[in-house]
Structure 1
Amino acid sequence: MPELTHQLLAVNGISLSLYSAGPEQGRPVWLLHGFPECWHSWRGQIEPLARAGYRVLIPEMRGYGQSSAPAEPQAYELLTLCADIQAAMDALGQTEACVVGHDWGAPVAWHLGLLEPQRVKALATLSVPFGGRPKRPAIDIMREVNAGRFNYILYFQEPGVAEAELDADIARSLRLILLGSQGEAFLQDKPEGAGLLDGLPEPQGFPAWCGEDDFAYYQRALARGFRGPLNWYRNFTRNWQRSEFLAGQKVLQPTLFLLGDRDPVGKLETHTLKRMAELVPALEQHLLPGCGHWIQNERAPEVNALLLDFLARHYPAA
């Protein structure tokens, strides 16, 4: 990995922890991580992007690592999360950028594309597709569809419930969620009232894509517990209310979308995947075989090749 610079930026009312690499005058590429991950989840992409001449910026998103972690769920509204990155771009004097997001980082990237059509020149999103603003809050639909059954997002809604389970043994919780499968923690068939970790197999050792030293970074990012990261899930109604001005808007930037064929999100978002091309006219999609949810780690060489090729055509380094 190339030499990294670390700084704490005072932006949008919080302290944002930011790692960066690559030539300081290179075109900015932001890498936004998801749940329950950390800046180090982009370890496989940092060096290739920096070597290609890009200025790579990898924040610890609000609630993680050394960044601020407000206690109130409303502090994690989607537009607020976007504003963290917008304010960081402002602080760094950036008038253009490419934004890459995985998992929860993908909705932030999608909305930055909508909010910043001039500054955001290209997007790359991994695992979570774009479906536009729904006609009503998605959480209402989830409650209807999953009545009587376990659903991890519904389980996350009541503050304190999931925290009690996951914070009891943070290292074990992370092992079960991250290492035991390709994301099966998020697609379990069990009754309402179960816990997230119930029934998940204990992983044996570390997979090839995440060694013990890598896993330590995830532990440090969640050392304060899961409350901040879980709060990202507690704003579906507020996000819907605040995004009315974006209703019907399309993402017009050149966009790369990558999904593993074993990613549970693909099963959960079948309808969204089918209609995404209507909402993202300049979309390129790739399905990676044999790949689960942690796509940029499980298939780093393939992701890097696709990303660098896309950037060379739509956001060249020089």
Structure 2
Amino acid sequence: MAEHRMIDVNGIRLHVVEEGEGPLVVLLHGFPESWHSWHRQIGPLAAAGYRVVAPDQRGYGSSDHPDDVDAYSIFHLVGDVVGLIGALGEQRAYVVGHDWGAPVAWHTALLRPDLVRGVAGLSVPPPFRPARPPLAAMEQRFGGRFYWSYFNRPGVADAEFARDTRTALRKMFYAISEEAARDGAVRELLVDDPEKGWLADMPDPEVLPEWFTEADLDALTESFSGGFTGALNWYRNLDRNWELTAPWQGATVTTPALYVYGDCDPVPAFPGTPELIARLPELMPSLRRPPLELAGCGHWTQQERPDEVNAALIEFLKEC
């Protein structure tokens, strides 16, 4: 049975959900999510012989939400994982991340390979530091209309999403799911009119996808009762993270690795990303197998396709 508790880590308190015994597996959620995005993985991984811990990452859910934007850099986020491993009394762990959790997982393996038995990323591929700051590059490419730019306007997306949290989350989850792709309703990750907001033209489904129930939406809505600012502050460190990681220019993840993504997910289709994914086996020899593409899967990988993700993760963990 999963246990909820608070743990002091890296100067803040993190809410974690824990189940099982054995080698530690840390599951890192993305945006706009919480530990709950892993609820279909925690039990199966624990049953397979692992100690599974899924935190609400800083700025999310019941964990602390530091006020300072600078408190959400990649160094802080990796520091939370490092601190969590130690606070749990462990010396090493497997680290798995989805969406924003994937860059945290990849960078934990990159910066602290001594602590990482193996690393898996869902949706977002391993980090290869670009030549230019990412926010500036996207602003130039899309004329300031890319959602990263919108999220970087202080207080704007925060207020839009908080006006009706449940509707905002329902729209966001549907808009980049396989169901939206099948319905021809996939929302571009562009903001047509920043004054209207990102959600204004986003489809609102009459019926939720089977994998995302009303109870799931209830749990997610409750986790954002404190607002979206902490979560959005991750995006407000994109260019700062690029500056901070300059010493690792050209470095690659050397720990055993797994990458999984859906063929209907818009994130792996970001400019330059398909070419990167195609070259990953060449660029990162630590991959245990070629990138695993899940047919008919949108952005919410482990929620949309839990059986395939669980099988891939368990097979990977047992190989490491």
Give TM-score scaled by structure 2 length: 0.92
Q: CA deviation at 1:278?
A: 3.9
Q: What does residue 217 of structure 1 align with?
A: 219
Q: What does residue 150 of structure 2 align with?
A: 155
| Alpha carbons 2:262, 2:298 under 8 Å: kept | yes
Computed over aligned residues only, the root mean square deviation of the Cα atoms, in angstroms, reads: 1.6
Separation in structure 2 between the aligned mates of residue 220 and residue 271 of structure 1, nearest angstrom: 39
Q: Which runs of 5+ in 2 are unaligned?
A: 181-185
Cα shift readout 1:21-53 (whole Å, capped 9, x = no counterpart): 012xx1000100000011011011111100011
Please list, as runs of the form range in 1=range in 2, the aligned pairs for 1:126-165 lying within 5 A after superposition.
Answer: 126-147=122-143, 150-165=145-160
Cα shift readout 1:124-165 (whole Å, capped 9, x = no counterpart): 1100012422222111111111116x2111110111111121
Q: CA deviation at 1:275?
A: 3.6
Please list, as runs of the form range in 1=range in 2, the aligned pairs for 1:238-317 lying within 5 A after superposition.
Answer: 238-268=240-270, 269-283=273-287, 284=289, 285-314=291-320
3-state DSSP of counterpart to 1:234: helix
Q: What does residue 162 of structure 2 align with?
A: 167
Please list, as runs of the form range in 1=range in 2, the aligned pairs for 1:182-197 lying within 5 A after superposition.
Answer: 182=177, 184-185=186-187, 187-188=189-190, 190=192, 194-197=196-199
Separation in structure 2 between the aligned mates of residue 175 and residue 82 of structure 1, nearest angstrom: 29
Bigger mean CA deviation after superposition, 279-288 or 102-111? 279-288
Q: CA deviation at 1:281?
A: 1.2
Q: CA deviation at 1:271?
A: 3.4
Figure out how many residues of one structure are paired with residues of the other and give that number: 309
Bigger mean CA deviation after superposition, 229-238 or 182-191? 182-191
Q: Which amino acid letter does the alignment assign opposite residue 190 of structure 1?
A: D
| Alpha carbons 2:176, 2:266 under 8 Å: kept | no
3-state DSSP of counterpart to 1:235: helix
Q: Relative to 1, partners in 2 of residues 1:186 and 1:92: Cα closer, same or farther, differing over 3 Å?
A: farther
Tell me, yes or no, if structure 1 residue 233 matches structure 2 residue 231. Answer: no
Separation in structure 2 between the aligned mates of residue 277 and residue 236 of structure 1, nearest angstrom: 26
| Alpha carbons 1:251, 1:279 under 8 Å: kept | no
Q: Which amino acid letter does the alignment assign opposite residue 52 of structure 2?
A: V
Q: What does residue 82 of structure 1 align with?
A: 78
Separation in structure 2 between the aligned mates of residue 113 and residue 121 of structure 1, nearest angstrom: 9
Separation in structure 1 between the aligned mates of residue 239 and residue 150 of structure 2, nearest angstrom: 16
Query: Structure 1 vs Structure 2: percent identity of aligned residues?
Result: 44
Bigger mean CA deviation after superposition, 32-41 or 263-272? 263-272
3-state DSSP of counterpart to 2:130: coil
Cα shift readout 1:90-119 (whole Å, capped 9, x = no counterpart): 112211110000000000000000111122
Q: Which amino acid letter does the alignment assign opposite residue 285 of structure 2?
A: P
| Alpha carbons 1:98, 1:121 under 8 Å: kept | yes
Q: What does residue 113 of structure 1 align with?
A: 109
3-state DSSP of counterpart to 1:270: helix
Cα shift readout 1:263-306 (whole Å, capped 9, x = no counterpart): 00121122332343344212231100110000101111111111
Q: Relative to 1, partners in 2 of residues 1:270 and 1:189: Cα closer, same or farther, differing over 3 Å?
A: farther
Q: CA deviation at 1:180?
A: 4.4
Q: Which runs of 4+ in 1 moved over 4 A?
A: 191-194
Q: Which amino acid letter does the alignment assign opposite residue 208 of structure 1?
A: E
| Alpha carbons 2:106, 2:127 under 8 Å: kept | no
